[in-house]
Structure formats: structure tokens, C-alpha cells
Structure 1
């Protein structure tokens, strides 16, 4: 998986998600779901509501309200009955002054 947050700061962010197969090539996943949770502040999960763009999934409307460490949860549907979920901590920076 490759997940990109831009600009990776508090406020509106663009999110792009690309799944890769075992051969290292992009995999056209039938569905990718991304959410963020900040347990320390009791915020989330915030659903990114990604849209399929033919080979990658994206949104330009994920509003992140607070800086800090967030838990990223990515669920990739592989087939009609198989899916895998990955979690990773990510850092969201404060907005520039």
C-alpha cells in the first residue's frame, strides 16, 4: 500500500491510495477504505470516503481537525470475500501560522 496525505497538516487534505500486488505492480483493488483516529483526543474515526479513479483511490476532502499522532487504518478488499486491514501511526503537523 502507498498512502499519500497532502499537505499532511491540520485542515483539508488530499488522500491518495494505491494497492500493490506481490509482484510489486499496482493492483486494481475493488475497494479501499481509509480512516484516521486520534485516541488521545477521542477523535474519529474520520472516514476519508475515497473514490475509485481507475487504479487508485482518492479524495480531496479529508478535513483533519488536530495535529498529533493519528492511527491510520486501511482496509483493502482483495476479492468478493477477502480483505486485509493495515494500521499505522502517522503524524499530522499543525497548520502554518
Structure 2
């Protein structure tokens, strides 16, 4: 089974290895408090990381408003084509 944050649905032909089969229930019960604490810490930090990524995306979008109107995408496409031709000429 998959659990948050790595939810996975197997496709036809996939080989799924159930790692839960390797768990020792006695050890798992013995360390239940530590496991719960670690899970809480993990998800707290995971959510914090997501919030930082979201904030960075918002800042990026704001900054993009300043420079995007001045970008010459046609010139970039021409330059890309020139570089590709140079690479292919050199390879031949």
C-alpha cells in the first residue's frame, strides 16, 4: 500500500514490493511513540517545505511580470536553431 505523501497507483504489469512485510510488529509496537513523533516531525517539515516552494513561486511570478514583456522569444528560437545547427555540423 502507498501512504502520503508518496501515493502510488500500480499500473498493469508493475511489480509492487510490499515493504510492510519486512516490519516486525513487536519492534513497531515498541517504538510506536518514536515513530509517531518522527511522522509528525516529517509531515510538519514537509508541509513547511511546500509552503516555502509556494512562496518562492509567488515571488517568481511577481518578478516575471517585470521581465517577461521584454523577452524576445523569436530571437531565442533563432539562437536555439543556430546552436543546434552548429552542434549537428560539428558532429558530422
**TM-score, with structure 2 as normaliser:** 0.19
**TM-score, with structure 1 as normaliser:** 0.19
Q: Which has the higher helix share?
A: 2
Q: Which has the higher strand share?
A: 1
Bigger radius of gyration among the two: 2
Higher relative contact order (CA 8 A, sep 6+): 1
